[in-house]
Amino acid sequence: MRSVSIMKNINNKLLKKFKQSFNKNQTNHVIANAIAKNGIKNASFNNDILKIHNNVFSHEIQQPSITNQQSSGRCWIFASLNMARLEAMKNLNIEDLELSQSYLYFYDKLEKVNNFLENVIQNGLNLDFNDPLFKYLMDSPADDGGFWEWFLGLINKYGIVPKYLMDDTFDAKSSREFIEILNTKAKECASKIIKASKNNASEQQLRKLKIIALNDIYNIASKTLGIPPEKFDFQYRDKDKKIQKIKNITPLEFYKKYIGDNVLNNKVNLVSDPRKIHPYGKVLSSKYFNSVYESPNNLQLNVPMKELIEATKKSILDGVSVPFACDVSKFHDRKSGIMDLNVYDYNNTLVYLNLNREQRLNLHQSLPTHLMNIVGVDIDSNGNIIKWKVENSWGEDIAFKGIFSMSNDWFKEYNYQCVVDKKYVQSKYLKGLEQEHIILDYTDPLAYLH
């Protein structure tokens, strides 16, 4: 039988063939020069896309001041509070309000380290240091990222305060060094717990070590972010130009009275996962990492994309903004604030990219990386959605004074989760909330922190 030669390595003959193919098309050299001078994105920018993204939307929600998370990974806190503050503004009868992201950030760090150390005690004591699960548990004990459910657990437990009562400090705005110190201290305690366990320490003794570490974390966070207020007075001017003052109120009382725990707790986190292994109408859940230990962890009700879009549209038309988690790194132009599959003409400058949504998830090529807030929609005369108005938390100096424009086609490909009131979701899907959850593997792109 004739042997078949299968090339496993790259050789000079193959490289010569590639080069000849490249040189045959003179346009390649023009494109190469444009990219060398301007970069891939600038050289590929599709200027015609500006005609669609004109910052005009047929339906818009009241727009308070734009917030800025600076150089931190607190987008999930910002997006969730940006939605919640609209309810507070309505109940307080005021034009604008910003709630303290640092207040929740403080408690999030404390809760995350507690959850991390509980994971060590409950799941990590008998694992080899090179075990993939142990490596995962050790990855980021006090990272900035998070999910809607983590926000809900924090605000339900600790309440909230206006921003001026606990404003951002230097390390809240630029959190890398802060996180590094917290991670080091958390792992130091993990090492002590593992060593004590091998010396036959009781579970009670292990948790005493945990309490000592949490005291250190509280100390670090207090020096870095400030000590959260336990009670406060809030003076403000309402829409009628009258001075109002709320006296001696706790953060939890302020949250329940002016936002309403019933308002936030009646929402559901929808996800659209097209992978066949995850049926629609089922809740996809994560394990191991959480913020508030005793609160539910990342519960995502899986629905078809059509339902995700329809529920989001109903919410916007009803005047309720929608926090959403997306892969902001894909086909997104930061300067113009445009999120559109055609914003970069890679097909003509580089190569055709042809992975669908399911393939991208299976191959870990796309996953939720950023939370923002949908505050408007543009619907044409035939009822078709053209684009969505997006409130980001990157300040006013980019996009259209901090507002982004997302095409509906981009929504279908790179938007993953939307947080909406349950009344906007069909009952046949809501039944899944009462059924057994599907526990995602800790390596799943929809399961872990990004």
DSSP 26-47: THHHHHHHHHHHH-HHHHHB-G
User: What is the helix (H) or strand (E) element at residue 219, kind and residue range?
Assistant: helix 203-225
Label residue 250 exposed, middle or buried (CB < 10 Å: 0-12, 13-18, 19+).
middle
Residue 28 within any structural domain of the chain:
no
Contact 378, 386 (CB under 8 A): yes
| 51 within some domain | no
pTM of the model: 0.95
Are 68 and 81 contacting, i.e. CB atoms less than 8 angstroms apart? no
What pLDDT was estimated at residue 350?
95
Report how far residue 63's alpha carbon sits from residue 75's, in angstroms, rounded to the nearest whole number: 18
The answer to whether the CB of 320 falls within 8 A of the CB of 313 is no
- Measured over the CA atoms of residue 398, residue 325, residue 106 and residue 237, the dihedral's sign is positive
In a domain, 43, yes or no: no
pLDDT value of residue 308: 99
Instruction: Please check whether residue 299 is in contact with residue 153, taking contact to mean a CB–CB distance below 8 angstroms.
Output: no
Count of domains for the chain: 1
pLDDT at 449: 56
Report whether 389 contacts 403 (CB < 8 A): yes
Domain-embedded: residue 220: yes
**Residue 48 forms part of a structural domain:** no
CA-closest candidate to residue 103, choices 146, 153, 165: 165
State the pairing for strand pair 438-439/332-333: unpaired
Return left, alpha or beta for 364; rule: phi > 0 is left, psi -120 to 50 is alpha, else beta. Answer: left
DSSP class of residue 344?
B
Q: Are 357 and 413 in contact (CB under 8 A)?
A: yes
Alpha helix positions (H), 276-368: 305-317, 346-349, 357-362
Contact between 391 and 337 under an 8 Å Cβ cutoff? The reply is no
Q: Would you say how long the chain is, in residues?
A: 450
List the alpha helices (DSSP H) in 146-239. 148-158, 170-173, 176-198, 203-225
Angle, CA of 142, 115 and 110, to the nearest 5°: 55
Of all residues in the chain, what percent are helix, strand and coil, respectively (each to 5)?
Answer: 45, 15, 40
Query: Domain containing 418 — which CATH number?
Result: 3.90.70.10
pLDDT of 81 reads 98
Nearest alpha-carbon partner for 64 in 51, 81, 43, 47:
81
In which domain, by residue range, is 320 found? 59-439
Separation between Cα atoms, residue 281 and residue 183, nearest integer Å: 37
pLDDT (tens place) for every residue of the chain, 450 residues total:
455 567 789 999 999 999 999 999 999 999 999 999 999 999 999 999 999 999 999 999 988 999 999 999 999 999 999 999 999 999 999 999 999 999 999 999 999 999 999 999 999 999 999 999 999 999 989 999 999 999 999 999 999 999 999 999 999 999 999 999 999 999 999 999 999 999 999 999 999 999 999 999 999 999 999 999 999 999 999 999 999 999 999 999 999 999 999 999 999 999 999 999 999 999 999 988 889 999 888 899 999 999 999 999 999 999 999 999 999 999 999 999 999 999 999 999 998 888 999 999 999 999 999 999 999 999 999 999 999 999 999 999 999 999 999 999 999 999 999 999 999 999 999 999 999 999 999 999 998 755
Evaluated on CA atoms 422, 425, 428, 433, the torsion sign reads negative
Q: What is the dihedral of CA 114, 115, 120, 124, to 10 degrees?
A: 180
Residues recognised as catalytic: 75, 370, 392
d(CA 353, CA 400): 28
Helical pair 148-158 and 75-92, crossing angle rounded to 10 deg? 50
392 occurs within a structural domain:
yes
Tell me if 403 is assigned to some domain: yes
Nearest partner of 196 among 209, 184, 183, judged by Cα = 209
1 domain residue, yes or no: no
Spatial distance between the Cα atoms of 233 and 309, rounded to a whole number of angstroms: 41
DSSP secondary structure string for all residues of 258-271: HT-HHHHHTEEEEE
Which of 400, 299, 371 minimizes the C-alpha distance to 83?
A: 371
